[in-house]
Amino acid sequence: MNIIRYPNPDEWDALLKRPTLNSEDLNETVREILNRVRTEGDKAVRDCEEQFDKVRLDNLQVTPEEFDEAEKLTSIELKAAILLALNNIKTFHSAQRFETKKVTTLPGVTCWQKAVAIEKVGLYIPGGMAPLFSTVLMLATPAQIAGCKEIILCTPPDREGKIHPAILYAAKVAGVTRVFKIGGVQAIGAMAYGTTTVPKVYKIFGPGNQYVTAAKQQVSLRDVAIDMPAGPSEVAVLADETANPTFVAADLLSQAEHGRDSQSLLITTSESLLEQTAQEVERQLQALPRKEIASCSLDHSKLILVKNTEEALQMVNRYAPEHLIIETRDYAELAEKVVNAGSVFLGSYSPESAGDYASGTNHTLPTNGYARAYSGVSLDSFIRKITFQEVTQEGIRTIGPAIEIMAANEYLDAHKNAITVRLTDKK
């Protein structure tokens, strides 16, 4: 990891830059695949599965028999862990339900909102080396609580045309309607445009590699909504001399093993903690099965020594991390001053892993600095709020003259007339 001591504030922006990729060629490749899926539907999807996932599929949809087989193949211990996490996620997200409240702004003028579920949502779950069944829970659970009528899921199959059993088990218990064996750009295209087999959805959720991310961004321009802009995963740890270097190193590495382009930062006021953490990272790294991936991530990760906690907090808010872990003596006080972060973990016994799996909060979060403007996935992500207003004859007489004046000054005479005809009506 790169060690930086006492950087000047004018160096922070360069210091806190994320890893970047040349996306010009990537975007063109994604555009071509999306166009094929749009025009050729299932045929293009099957061809892409053969090309990219190395499997020729006769049936894109997971069958009831495959769900039954997956349940048998999932261990009792893993089922119990999934159900514990599911219950906590349900509890946390159920508490976010919106309550309608009618407001009388003036006598005869009543306004209110109603929460309505997005009817059709699509969830993308990456495959690759890590079967992210936890993400199934994070996305399907709030969708079910919200009342989405159709929850479809796409995830890449292995070369035998199978989906990891834990993904299918999680999909079943979390309320997914249908699961399709489709990965990558072709999955995003199928959900965005619809095919003979895959229904078109109104909003797409879920993480993915740089190709999936580019595909989501492209289809969001005119065809379908998406959860949020996405980039490589990241963590910042804010720590002082009271932090446990073994814990801090473990937290940095748990992020680093996500992918080669992930980023881990330690921002600390303690020279001793910085040095001990650097040593612990090297020691723990050697035991990781994903050592090679984590090592690549650590090449652009940083250990930063700052003068005091005030400066550390300013740097954290400038970075706007997806995950922020605060391991300091006064973590509760510092937490109140955090304004830019996706999810915050407080104290020595609140690792990022807790939120990734089972504490109940959602782990689908804004990355790449988007925490300055975006929230993580929540129940609100799966609903729309429709406004209503009811104006009585008394109400129109009260607010009508003001509306006439405003409309006239915007040169919108038809708007004004819609009020005038009501004010002059003799009935």
> What is the spatial distance between Cα 256 and Cα 199, in angstroms, rounded to a whole number?
36
DSSP E strands, 13-138 = 103-106, 109-117, 120-124
pLDDT at 209 over 90: no
Catalytic-labelled residue, pool 322, 327, 352, 363:
322
Per the annotation, binding residues are 124, 186, 209, 233, 255, 258, 323, 356, 410, 415
User: Would you place residue 22 in the very low, low, confident or very high pLDDT band (cuts 50, 70, 90)?
Assistant: low
Task: Specify whether 323 is catalytic.
Answer: yes
On whether the CB atoms of residues 156 and 53 are closer than 8 A, the answer is yes
> Which tens digits make up the pLDDT trace of 139-172?
999 999 999 999 999 999 999 999 999 999 999 9
Per the annotation, binding residues for Zn(2+) are 255, 258, 356, 415
On whether the CB atoms of residues 333 and 313 are closer than 8 A, the answer is no
H helices then E strands: how many in the chain?
A: 17, 14
Backbone angles phi, psi at 161, to 5 degrees: 80, 25
Per the annotation, binding residues for NAD(+) are 124, 186, 209
**SS3 state at 366:** coil
> What is the spatial distance between Cα 314 and Cα 319, in angstroms, rounded to a whole number?
9
DSSP per-residue string spanning 252-279: HHHHHTT-TT-EEEEEES-HHHHHHHHH
pLDDT at 302 over 80: yes
Write down the pLDDT at residue 396.
97
Task: Specify whether 257 is catalytic.
Answer: no
Q: Look at the block and give the residue holding tokens 């001399």.
A: 241
Which of 122, 161, 117 minimizes the C-alpha distance to 139?
122
Q: What percent of the chain has pLDDT over 90?
A: 93
Write down the pLDDT at residue 24.
75
> What is the spatial distance between Cα 136 and Cα 176, in angstroms, rounded to a whole number?
9
> Which tens digits make up the pLDDT trace of 243-281?
999 999 999 999 999 888 899 999 999 999 999 999 999
pLDDT at 372 over 90: yes
pLDDT at 5 over 70: yes
Which of 115, 142, 128 minimizes the C-alpha distance to 183?
128
> What is the spatial distance between Cα 288 and Cα 386, in angstroms, rounded to a whole number?
49
Backbone angles phi, psi at 328, to 5 degrees: -135, 170
Per the annotation, binding residues for substrate are 233, 255, 258, 323, 356, 410, 415
Domains of the chain: 24-226 (3.40.50.1980), 231-375 (3.40.50.1980), 392-423 (no CATH)
pLDDT at 211 over 80: yes
**SS3 state at 291:** helix
Q: What percent of the chain has pLDDT over 70?
A: 99
> Which tens digits make up the pLDDT trace of 116-131?
999 999 999 998 678 9
Catalytic-labelled residue, pool 93, 164, 323, 363:
323
Write down the pLDDT at residue 230.
81
User: Would you place residue 231 in the very low, low, confident or very high pLDDT band (cuts 50, 70, 90)?
Assistant: confident
On whether the CB atoms of residues 301 and 265 are closer than 8 A, the answer is yes
On whether the CB atoms of residues 331 and 290 are closer than 8 A, the answer is no
Write down the pLDDT at residue 53.
94
Average pLDDT over residues 176-182: 98
> What is the spatial distance between Cα 208 and Cα 60, in angstroms, rounded to a whole number?
20
Among 208-212, 214-218, 387-391, the least confident range? 208-212
Other beta carbons less than 10 A from residue 91's beta carbon: 10
Angle between helices 245-256 and 271-285 (to 10 degrees): 50
> Which tens digits make up the pLDDT trace of 37-90?
999 999 999 999 999 999 999 999 999 999 999 999 999 999 999 999 999 999
Give the mean pLDDT of the chain. 96
DSSP E strands, 343-397 = 343-346, 383-391
pLDDT at 21 over 70: no
